[in-house]
Amino acid sequence: MDIVVKGRKTEVPERFRKHVAEKLKLDKIQKLDGKVISLDVEVSKEHNPRQADRSDRVEITLRSRGPVIRAEAAAADPYVALDLAASKLEARMRKQHDKRHTRRGNGRIPASDVAAAVPEAARINGTGELAAVAEQTVPTTRMGPLEVKGEGPLVVREKTHAASPMPLDQALYEMELVGHDFYLFVDADTKQPSVVYRRHAYDYGVIHLETEAFVGEEAGGAGGSLGG
């Protein structure tokens, strides 16, 4: 297995690539997960002077036969950002490693137990009305599948992931592994596209997307947010 280092809108010097290889030692990684398929490191730079203390971002993505593990960090220096991201990755790998060993002895926690611990669940309301907004004559720019009115900046980053249905407890667990505040998944029980998200402290919310067919009338728009 090789480590792939790439830059997004920035050049990655050879010295930094060597430092990545020294920091992310493959033998240490494979001790925690012997089924690693790939390890990608993406480096990007923010040129906004207001974000000078977080100008360099490093994202590490580890793919194996289990869940994807991702860690990212930003700092004023790419080497510091790499150190922070590598520490997060190791902590999440150890968590996954410990869970695998726990499963062999005690089995999995039922999804119903985790669902009972979630204090609130949010559902998209398809009957909500949208406030009418007056159209203004402003320049329109097309960026991929989107139309942008007025001046940007707008950054569009589109990703497609393969998704296997999973229970709620697994979605919560994989959200923690990638270090995000939300996780999109297909619910194994309802087969609905769903999102679990972090609220306050250790509280979580869940949004389930349900499609409805409107016969003989125009279909209205439906939307949901992760707030509340």
150 inside domain: no
pLDDT digits over 166-186, tens only?
A: 888 888 888 877 777 888 888
Which pLDDT value is given to residue 143? 60
* Spatial CA neighbour of 114 closest among 72, 173, 156, 74: 173
Number of other residues whose CB lies within 10 A of the CB of residue 112: 12
Mean local confidence (pLDDT), 125-139: 47
Identify the pLDDT of residue 6.
92
Residues of the chain with pLDDT > 70: what percent? Answer: 64
More confident residue, 227 or 36: 36
Q: Are residues 16 and 96 in the same domain?
A: yes
pLDDT(3) > 80: yes
Q: Using an 8 Å Cβ cutoff, are 51 and 82 in contact?
A: no
Q: Are residues 169 and 93 in the same domain?
A: no
| Residue the block writes with tokens 């402290």 | 201
Is position 186 within any domain? yes
Domain with 13 in it: 3-106
Classify residue 10: in a domain, yes or no: yes
Output the CA torsion sign for 54, 195, 97, 3: negative
Confidence of residue 199 (pLDDT cuts 50, 70, 90): confident
User: How does the average pLDDT of the chain come out, rounded?
Assistant: 74
Asked if residue 196 and residue 173 are part of one domain, the reply reads yes
CATH code for the domain in which residue 37 is found: 3.30.160.100
**Dihedral of the CA atoms 115, 120, 124, 129 (nearest 10)?**
170
Tell which residue, 102, 92, 109, has the closest CA to residue 33.
92
- Torsion from C-alpha of 159, 196, 103, 98, nearest 10 degrees: 70
pTM above 0.75, yes or no: no
Both ends of the chain: CA-CA distance in Å? 43
**Same domain? 116 vs 192:** yes
- Helix (H, G, I), strand (E, B), or coil: what is residue 189? coil
Distance, CA of 82 to CA of 192 (rounded, Å): 37
| Overall number of domains in the chain | 2
21-70 tens-digit pLDDT: 888 887 788 888 878 888 999 999 887 777 778 889 999 999 888 788 88
